[in-house]
Amino acid sequence: MASHWEEFYATHLPPTDFEDNRKLLQEFCERHNKRNEKIVLVTSGGTTVPLEHNTVRFVDNFSAGTRGAASAEYFLEHAYVVIFMHRLKSLEPFTRHFNGQKFMDMLELYERGPNTNITVKPDSVDVLAPILASYKAAQENGRILYVNFTSVSDYFWLLRAACECLSQFGSRALLYLAAAVSDFYVPSNQMPTHKIQSGSAAPNIQLQLVPKLLAPLVSLWVPHAFVVSFKLETDESILITKAREALNKYKHKLVIGNMLQTRRTKVVFVTPDSSYEVVLSREQMLNGMEIEDVIVRNVAANHDEYRKKFKY
């Protein structure tokens, strides 16, 4: 009998841009594997759960992709090449610093007679310059690949394709699964083709459980990689237990637990034999430090340790 995840792939078509993305992933991975690089797959942002095939409405979640976008920047600093697999229109590394009004406020407009000039304000140059330098370095050296998804089914297809390419890296591959993937969805064969009409009775929408991809990912797709998953809760009393349950079930290396309310300042690292908190002090926050800086430093150190013990 086919497992739950196999049934999912058998009953859900790949997204229309799937083959293009698969080629990009293959090229990126082959190029960097030849150079013996360390690679990280960062997943980021939420997934949608469409309610109709011609999608007008969908179920969504809160994630803006801050964790993933910030972490990708820090992984580049730690000499990783990065596959940034993110929800379309969620935050991206580098550009996240210039979102919306923040960017406009960095600029100065001079109008003298017929001449118009736009310059960057002097104090914004200090902010912009290092970010621009890192962006250019990553871009010019081809060290980051952006691929995107929208629905939970797009995410499934892209994640498996990325893993197929990552397996050649053995233990040099790190998977950092920070995307907020929906646990529930409407299966393709139970979804109406057209927009749900409001004229008749209120719809009764039956959600089903999404298969847990961590199972085949860890045991079949990238068995030698260092896999880190995130666990989100809103009730602190169950966070560590749930994280431990995931480790026991999927047998990967590390779960990073976080609470919706405090995720910017506190996370807990849960490994098979320990758990420890990573907390950002008020002072560190006021100095502009980001918790992802500390998380990524810790994850990279854990990955290094793992590789020392590993022969692949």
| Residue ranges binding ligand 9Z3 (CB under 6 A) | 63-67, 177-178, 180-181, 229-232, 258, 263
Q: How far is the CB of 95 from ligand 9Z3 (least distance, A)?
A: 15
CB-nearer residue toward ligand 9Z3: 51 or 175: 175
Q: What is the CA radius of gyration of the chain?
A: 21
CB-nearer residue toward ligand 9Z3: 33 or 44: 44
CB-nearer residue toward ligand 9Z3: 161 or 180: 180
CB-nearer residue toward ligand 9Z3: 1 or 209: 209
Q: How far is the CB of 197 from ligand 9Z3 (least distance, A)?
A: 32
Q: How far is the CB of 218 from ligand 9Z3 (least distance, A)?
A: 12
The terminus-to-terminus CA distance of the chain in angstroms comes to 33
What are the residues whose beta carbons fall under 8 Å from the beta carbon of 192, sequence distance 6 or more?
A: 51, 52, 53
What are the residues whose beta carbons fall under 8 Å from the beta carbon of 275, sequence distance 6 or more?
A: 240, 243, 244, 268, 269
CB-nearer residue toward ligand 9Z3: 21 or 290: 290
Neighbour-count burial for 176-207, b at 16+ CB within 10 Å, e otherwise: bbbbbbbeebbeeeebeeeeeeeeeeeeeeee
CB-nearer residue toward ligand 9Z3: 33 or 229: 229
DSSP per-residue codes, 178-230? --B--SEE--GGGS-SSPPPSSSSPP----EEPP-THHHIIIIISTTSEEEEE
Q: How far is the CB of 260 from ligand 9Z3 (least distance, A)?
A: 7
Q: How far is the CB of 201 from ligand 9Z3 (least distance, A)?
A: 33
Cβ atoms < 10 Å from Cβ of 224: 16
What are the residues whose beta carbons fall under 8 Å from the beta carbon of 170, sequence distance 6 or more?
A: 224, 225, 310, 312
Distance CA 242, CA 258 (A): 11
Q: How far is the CB of 176 from ligand 9Z3 (least distance, A)?
A: 10
Q: How far is the CB of 230 from ligand 9Z3 (least distance, A)?
A: 3
CB-nearer residue toward ligand 9Z3: 55 or 61: 61
What residue spans of the chain are helical by DSSP H?
4-11, 18-34, 66-77, 101-104, 122-140, 152-166, 214-216, 239-250, 282-286, 291-308
Q: How far is the CB of 28 from ligand 9Z3 (least distance, A)?
A: 24
CB-nearer residue toward ligand 9Z3: 151 or 258: 258
Distance CA 227, CA 157 (A): 18
